[in-house]
């Protein structure tokens, strides 16, 4: 008899190790068009929209991290809000209490989150899918309480949180601070996306995917499962931490109640909507997280949650494997017709 | 020492609530092999329905039974309408649909019955069980109902054909279908039962925590904790786990100085992770062994 848990999650394993190749020219055209759009948008829209777009990119970075863990390595996490919070608080505390420069706090936040993620990955090694989901969920639920607790409040500011000042654009660039933060986030996001793609395409990436698809076979091939799993947990937390660190200055405020399990669940929803195991899908996930709740609220104030839920269900009906799955399917259909 | 005993008893009283919801979680896990994140909100919605029926002048027990029937029907309907078309979708998409249901029930309850706190009647009365007792008659009644429910469920799954068919459908759907079990309907039945058990839990809990759309948030979390500590494959383990979580939470709150009160939840959750380290399938859960 096959393990029932393994059978439940078989569907996760059916994600192709390498997504069906979108014809290169088309994917390149889409990428360039997307980049041109991303660069021109902040010059034509209002500051508030720039803020929203920056948040889209920040969520996309966090979703990308979650994707490395869940999409490529097959480990569940409903607790990435914790790493996001650690990143945000690291930046806020270093800037406001110790007077660090904002740009220096990003690598510090990344390293601290990597360490936390790596350490959390150690107990996670022993847990099967559903238990890991719950353990990480517990982490997300406990985070706000820990941040509020008295022993930490000299640094975290307790329930009050910490106000953070936006950095001004450097070198006298002809942009305002919202635009500057947008471009900074865009740049960091692109670098992280390239790193993620190269990591997944490398020897290590194949080991990471092999662990997801068949851990026993991977071990037989000589893959050090414990090492790779904990490292991926660390890298994934690092991405979430960088996203959190950027969010601290973009929102200009950190408080425990911004980092509840609702955020963790939102990141998870973004991951699935964008497409599990797809790097560009993260942006779609980010767009969904920022704009759909606003849209739901516009339709009905009182029933915003219900509208959001209904949209979510309809989206899952329309694309059960997320936006990336839909694109893959359409490409397969078109390619099939032209032959 | 007296404080200790008192705190343990008080912990058992809240533990009873967690045990109730942990039992509902484990039952649906056995029937459909999913952890339903919307379980708590479904229970909350059922409790509101019962409250509405009582407000309309229906006697308590009539409202109780009618709510169970309605919840069962709603559970079956959700499976048939929402999940049936998605049975081939990846499991992660299912979890997103659970999240969507959570959001829908929470928002709809707030919209229909608003967010003010309502009191819910107890069939057992809220007076202490006897003069000076730390547990109330309602707490005792709640234990009683939980235990009766546990025994009934055990008998159902162990000794009836339908119960056996449901277990088979959950453990090995392909083989179950080959021996003539209608797997789809077994899953729907599981949903209906889980919704009804959730409704019982909700109606038992509501007199203690009061009725409002967010009443289940933290309880569900502790319920999950209880279910995991006990082991997701063992209904009795879930009940014991619920009591353990209640007692630990209470003792940590009163005996660990300085941080105990503030970090009650964190300590209870650290307990889960600690238990899982030593016994990855919970205290009473059975380990799944797979052939390669």
Closest Cα in chain B to A130: B35
Select the residue of A11, A131, A321 nearest B276 (Cβ to Cβ): A131
Predicted pLDDT of residue A20: 55
Is A316's CB within 8 Å of B89's CB?
yes
State whether residue B276 sits within 8 Å of chain A by CB. Answer: yes
Is A149's CB within 8 Å of B263's CB?
yes
B 59-88 residues inside an 8 A Cβ radius of A: 82, 85-86, 88
Predicted pLDDT of residue A2: 46
Q: Phi, psi (5° rounding) for residue A320?
A: -60, -25
Q: Phi, psi (5° rounding) for residue A305?
A: -60, -40
Chain A: nearest CA to B184, how far in angstroms?
A: 15
**Residuewise pLDDT in 10s, chain A (339 residues):** 445 555 555 555 555 555 555 566 777 888 888 888 888 888 878 888 888 999 999 999 999 999 999 888 888 888 899 999 999 999 888 888 887 888 889 999 999 999 999 988 888 787 777 778 888 888 888 888 888 877 777 777 777 778 877 777 777 777 788 888 898 899 999 999 999 989 988 988 889 888 888 888 888 888 888 889 899 999 999 999 999 999 988 888 888 888 888 898 899 989 988 888 888 888 889 999 889 888 888 888 888 888 988 888 888 888 887 788 888 888 888 777 654
Helix segments in B33-90, DSSP class H:
39-55, 60-78
Q: What are the residues facing A253 on neighbouring strands?
A: A163
Mutate to test the interface with A, among B22, B40, B103 (most CBs of A within 10 A): B103
ipTM: 0.80
Q: ∠ CA B83-B88-B89 to the nearest 5 degrees?
A: 75
Predicted pLDDT of residue A1: 41
Residues A63-92 as b/e (b if ≥16 CB within 10 A, e otherwise) read bbbbbbbbbbbbbbbbbbbbbbbbbbbbbb
Is B86's CB within 8 Å of A316's CB?
yes
Residues A317 and B69: their CA atoms lie apart, in Å, by 29
B 136-165 residues inside an 8 A Cβ radius of A: none
Closest Cα in chain B to A128: B280
State whether residue A127 sits within 8 Å of chain B by CB. Answer: yes
- The closest of B101, B80, B103 to B191, measured between CA atoms, is B80
Predicted pLDDT of residue B221: 82
Select the residue of B92, B272, B281 nearest A12 (Cβ to Cβ): B92
- Tokens for A27, please give them: 């994917």
Taking every pair of Cα atoms in chain B, the longest distance, rounded to a whole number of angstroms, is: 61
Mutate to test the interface with B, among A12, A63, A82, A138 (most CBs of B within 10 A): A138
Is A309's CB within 8 Å of B224's CB?
no
Dihedral of CA A84/A194/A64/A189: which sign? positive
Predicted pLDDT of residue A241: 93
- The answer to whether A126 and B277 are in contact (CB under 8 A) is yes
Residues B40 and B205: their CA atoms lie apart, in Å, by 11
Is B266's CB within 8 Å of A142's CB?
yes
Is B97's CB within 8 Å of A305's CB?
no
Closest Cα in chain B to A158: B262
Count the neighbouring beta carbons within 10 Å of the beta carbon of residue B47.
27
Chain B: nearest CA to A269, how far in angstroms?
A: 6
State whether residue A31 sits within 8 Å of chain B by CB. Answer: no
A177 burial type by CB count under 10 A (0-12 exposed, 13-18 middle, 19+ buried):
middle
Select the residue of A12, A130, A312 nearest B100 (Cβ to Cβ): A312
Predicted pLDDT of residue A59: 93
Is A312's CB within 8 Å of B96's CB?
yes
Question: How would DSSP label each residue in A102-161?
Answer: HHHHHHHHHHHHHHHHHHHHHHHTT--HHHHHHHHHHHHHHHHHHHHSGGGHHHH-GGG-
**Residuewise pLDDT in 10s, chain B (292 residues):** 777 887 888 788 778 888 888 887 887 777 667 777 888 889 899 999 999 999 898 898 999 999 999 999 999 998 888 888 887 777 788 888 888 998 899 999 988 888 888 888 888 877 776 666 667 788 788 878 878 888 888 888 889 988 888 888 877 888 888 988 888 888 888 888 888 888 988 888 888 888 888 888 778 888 888 888 888 878 788 888 888 888 888 887 777 766 666 677 777 778 777 887 787 777 777 666 655 5
* DSSP one-letter code for A68: I
State whether residue B96 sits within 8 Å of chain A by CB. Answer: yes
Domain range B11-117+134-278, CATH class: mainly alpha
Dihedral angle, C-alpha B122, B127, B128, B129, nearest 10 °: -60
Which residues in chain B have Cβ-Cβ distances shorter than 8 Å to A2?
Answer: 290-291
Is A142's CB within 8 Å of B265's CB?
yes
Predicted pLDDT of residue B287: 65
Which residues in chain A have Cβ-Cβ distances shorter than 8 Å to B291?
Answer: 1-2
State whether residue A250 sits within 8 Å of chain B by CB. Answer: no
Please give the distance of CA B117 from its chain centroid, rounded to a whole number.
21
């Amino acid at each position: 008899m096959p393990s029932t848990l393994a059978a439940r999650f078989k569907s996760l394993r059916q994600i192709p190790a390498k997504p069906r190749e979108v014809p290169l020219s088309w994917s390149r055209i889409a990428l360039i068009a997307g980049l041109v759009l991303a660069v021109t948008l902040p010059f034509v829209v209002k500051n508030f929209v720039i803020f929203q777009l920056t948040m889209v990119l920040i969520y996309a970075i966090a979703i990308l991290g979650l994707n490395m863990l869940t999409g490529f390595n097959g480990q569940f996490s409903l607790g990435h809000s914790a790493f996001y919070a650690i990143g945000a608080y690291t930046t806020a505390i270093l800037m406001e209490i110790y007077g660090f420069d904002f740009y220096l706090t990003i690598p510090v936040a990344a390293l601290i989150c990597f360490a936390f993620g790596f350490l959390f990955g150690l107990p996670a090694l022993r847990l099967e899918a559903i238990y890991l989901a719950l353990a990480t969920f517990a982490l997300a639920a406990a985070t706000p309480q820990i941040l509020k607790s008295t022993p930490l409040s000299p640094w975290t500011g307790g329930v009050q949180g910490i106000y953070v000042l936006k950095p001004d654009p450097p070198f006298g660039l002809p942009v305002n601070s919202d635009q500057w933060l947008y471009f900074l986030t865009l740049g960091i996001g692109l670098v992280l996306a390239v790193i993620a793609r190269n990591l997944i395409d490398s020897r290590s990436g194949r080991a990471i995917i092999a662990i997801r698809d068949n851990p026993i076979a991977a071990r037989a091939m000589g893959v050090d499962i414990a090492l790779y799993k904990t490292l991926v947990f660390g890298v994934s937390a690092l991405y979430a931490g960088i996203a959190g660190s950027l969010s601290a200055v973009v929102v200009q405020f950190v408080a425990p109640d911004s980092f509840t399990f609702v955020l963790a669940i939102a990141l998870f929803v973004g991951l699935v909507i964008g497409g599990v195991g797809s790097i560009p899908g993260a942006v779609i996930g980010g767009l969904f997280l920022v704009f759909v709740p606003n849209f739901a609220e516009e339709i009905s104030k009182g029933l915003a949650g219900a509208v959001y839920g209904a949209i979510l269900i309809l989206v899952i009906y329309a694309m059960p494997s997320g936006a990336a799955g839909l694109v893959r399917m359409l490409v397969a259909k078109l390619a099939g017709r032209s032959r | 020492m007296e404080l200790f005993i008192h705190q343990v008893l008080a912990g058992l009283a809240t533990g009873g609530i967690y045990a109730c919801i942990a039992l509902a979680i484990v039952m649906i896990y056995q029937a459909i092999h999913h952890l339903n994140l919307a379980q708590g909100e479904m229970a909350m919605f059922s409790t509101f329905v019962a409250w509405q029926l009582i407000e309309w002048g229906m006697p308590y027990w009539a409202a109780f039974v009618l709510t169970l029937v309605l919840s069962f029907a709603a559970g079956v309907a959700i499976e048939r309408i929402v999940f049936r078309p998605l049975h081939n979708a990846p499991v992660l998409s299912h979890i997103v649909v659970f999240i969507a249901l959570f959001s829908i029930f929470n928002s709809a309850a707030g919209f229909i019955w608003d967010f003010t706190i309502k009191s819910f009647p107890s069939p057992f009365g809220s007076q202490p069980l006897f003069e000076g007792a730390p547990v109330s008659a309602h707490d005792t009644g709640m234990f009683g109902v939980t235990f009766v429910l546990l025994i009934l469920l055990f008998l159902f799954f162990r000794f009836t054909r339908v119960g056996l068919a449901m277990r088979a459908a959950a453990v090995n759907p392909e083989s179950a279908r080959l021996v003539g079990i209608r797997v789809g309907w077994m899953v729907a039945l599981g949903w209906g039962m889980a919704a009804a058990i959730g409704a019982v839990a909700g109606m038992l809990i509501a007199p203690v925590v009061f009725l409002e759309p967010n009443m289940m948030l933290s309880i569900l979390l502790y319920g999950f904790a209880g279910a995991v500590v006990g082991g997701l494959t063992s209904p009795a383990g879930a009940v014991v786990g619920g009591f353990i979580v209640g007692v630990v939470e209470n003792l940590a709150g009163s005996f660990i100085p300085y941080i105990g009160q503030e970090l009650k939840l964190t300590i209870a959750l650290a307990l889960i992770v600690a238990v899982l380290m030593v016994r990855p399938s919970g205290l009473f859960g059975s380990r799944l062994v797979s052939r390669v």
